[in-house]
Amino acid sequence: MAKEKAVKEIEDLPGIGETTAAKLRSSNIDSLEKIAVLSPHELSEVSGISVENAKKAIQVARESTTIEYETGESFYEKRKNIGKISTGSKDLNEMIGGGVETNGITEAYGKFSSGKTQLGFQLAVNVQLPVNKGGLEGNVLFIDTEGTFRPERIKSISDAVNLDSNKVLENIIYVRAKSTEQQILTLERADKLIQEKNIKLIIIDSLTSLFRSEFIGRGALGERQQKLNQHVHRLQTLADKYSLAVYVTNQVMDNPGILFGDPTTPIGGNVLAHAATTRLYLRKSKEERRIIKLVDSPYMPEGECVIKITNNGVKD
Ligand code: ATP
Ligand code: MG
């Protein structure tokens, strides 16, 4: 019965040594699952091993990958444990099903001054509240790519919900990322920090700005989308693994292809459209009012509500 070494990594496959594994990884083929769905010709082409050996490796990869089935009922039980962070506005909470959820990615997109960053500040404070007050008693990893984090704002918002603002600031782990590499590496190395600091919310403000400024021109678009795709995939993995919430902001551009209606479209194209669990579109209205549209949610209907951005944070 005793089998040889269990196959867990791609280099455990027959005929695939370290060099071949490295080659595969550089083509983004980094798991047994990915090899299991390749054809022998495809694998042979990217790895340089013979078609015959590729066949064997794929066979073993298929035998070594399992698919976990679960019933709708047990999945439903798990969903009951999903945490929700209050946004500060009852209307907005209701619209999105109770608050910003753990185990998923919430994206806010909109023009400048539409309130994306302010909503992030509010969530960074509220996640620290006790559960019965709309929080998760958890801490925050705040990745700032635009240099717009303002501790003063955190202080005012904390005071308004009766939290000790110095403690609140202590519980926000702040990273100023100046390149996509720094942004990506912060997440790659986040496991230990998340566990040690009880991180329950990761904020990236903004998710796309560095990608947008570093990858310019048509030729770079494919690479940008591929990197962004891996990055958001990593976010979702962390959200699931540690039952934490992810809030990302995103810029918009005017899409000249849209002739009727609102031409404002979020950056990131399909990659983000598919990755974000909940998408919010923020627009300025009169004075402190902001219109928030729920564009995409796995279980709530599309809707719109109005919030206020005040010195004390987000209000109805
Ligand atoms: P950008 O795309 O430029 O990052 P954004 O969507 O992140 O924009 P925010 O920074 O969230 O925009 O919103 C800025 C707006 O928030 C300001 O224009 C102002 O109306 C409001 N605001 C900021 N600070 C305060 C405050 N202390 N009191 C009241 N309103 C404030
Ligand atoms: Mg901002």
| HEC string for 155-182 | HHHHHHCCCCHHHHHHCEEEEECCCHHH
Name 32's bridge partners: none
Residue 151 maps to a domain: yes
Q: What tens digit of pLDDT does each residue of 140-195 get?
A: 999 999 999 999 999 999 999 999 999 999 999 999 999 999 999 999 999 999 99
Position 218 scores a pLDDT of 74
Domain harbouring 253, CATH code: 3.40.50.300
Domain shared by 17 and 52, yes or no:
yes
Domain shared by 21 and 164, yes or no:
no
Mean pLDDT, the chain, whole residue set: 93
Helix residue spans in 65-179 (DSSP H)? 72-79, 90-95, 116-126, 151-160, 165-170
Residue 2 maps to a domain: no
Domain shared by 135 and 36, yes or no:
no
Please give the backbone phi and psi of residue 166, each rounded to the nearest 5 degrees, phi first. -65, -40
Domain shared by 124 and 50, yes or no:
no
Residue 90: pLDDT over 60:
yes
Q: Which of 92, 104, 96 is nearest to 296 (CA)?
A: 96
What is the residue range of 199's domain?
A: 83-315
- Mean pLDDT calculated for residue range 103-119: 97
Taking ligand 2, which is a single-atom ion, which protein residues have CB atoms under 5 Å away?
A: 117, 148
Domain shared by 168 and 229, yes or no:
yes
Domain shared by 232 and 298, yes or no:
yes
Number of separate domains in the chain: 2
- Token look-up 């015959």 returns 52
Q: What tens digit of pLDDT does each residue of 252-275 get?
A: 988 877 778 888 889 888 888 888
Contacts of 105 (CB under 8 A, 6+ apart): 232, 235, 236, 239, 246, 248, 275, 276, 277, 278
Domain shared by 299 and 163, yes or no:
yes
Task: Confirm if 245 and 105 have CB atoms less than 8 A apart.
Answer: no
Quote the percentage of the chain above a pLDDT of 90: 81
Element (H, E) at 281: strand 278-284
Residue 8: pLDDT over 50:
yes
Instruction: Classify residue 102 by its DSSP letter.
Output: B
| Cβ of 227 less than 6 Å from ligand 1 | no
Position 270 scores a pLDDT of 82
Q: pTM for this one? A: 0.85
Report which ligand 1 atom has the smallest distance to the Cα of 119. Answer: 11
- Mean pLDDT calculated for residue range 26-51: 92
Report which ligand 1 atom has the smallest distance to the Cα of 206. Answer: 4
Domain shared by 147 and 261, yes or no:
yes
State how far the Cα of 139 lies from the Cα of 99, in Å rounded to an integer.
17
Packing angle between helix 40-47 and helix 51-64, nearest 10 degrees?
A: 110
Residue 316 or residue 264, greater confidence: 316
Residue 211 or residue 28, greater confidence: 211
Residue 153 maps to a domain: yes
Report which ligand 1 atom has the smallest distance to the Cα of 282. Answer: 6
Domain shared by 244 and 139, yes or no:
yes
For residue 308, give the ligand nearest its CA: 1
Q: Which of 182, 184, 92, 85 is nearest to 139 (CA)?
A: 85
Residue 188 maps to a domain: yes
Residue 93 maps to a domain: yes
For residue 112, give the ligand nearest its CA: 1
- Among 22-31, 112-121, 280-289, the minimum mean pLDDT is found in 22-31
Domain shared by 44 and 186, yes or no:
no
Q: How many CB atoms lie within 10 A of CB 308?
A: 17
Q: How many CB atoms lie within 10 A of CB 306?
A: 15
Position 4 scores a pLDDT of 55
Domain harbouring 34, CATH code: 1.10.150.20
- Among 5-9, 175-179, 183-187, 202-206, the minimum mean pLDDT is found in 5-9
Residue 129 maps to a domain: yes
Residue 104 maps to a domain: yes
Domain shared by 27 and 135, yes or no:
no
Domain shared by 240 and 149, yes or no:
yes
Q: Which of 192, 177, 195, 299 is nearest to 231 (CA)?
A: 177
State how far the Cα of 161 lies from the Cα of 59, in Å rounded to an integer.
58
Residue 77 maps to a domain: no
Residue 2: pLDDT over 80:
no
Last-in-domain residue among 64, 91, 108: 64
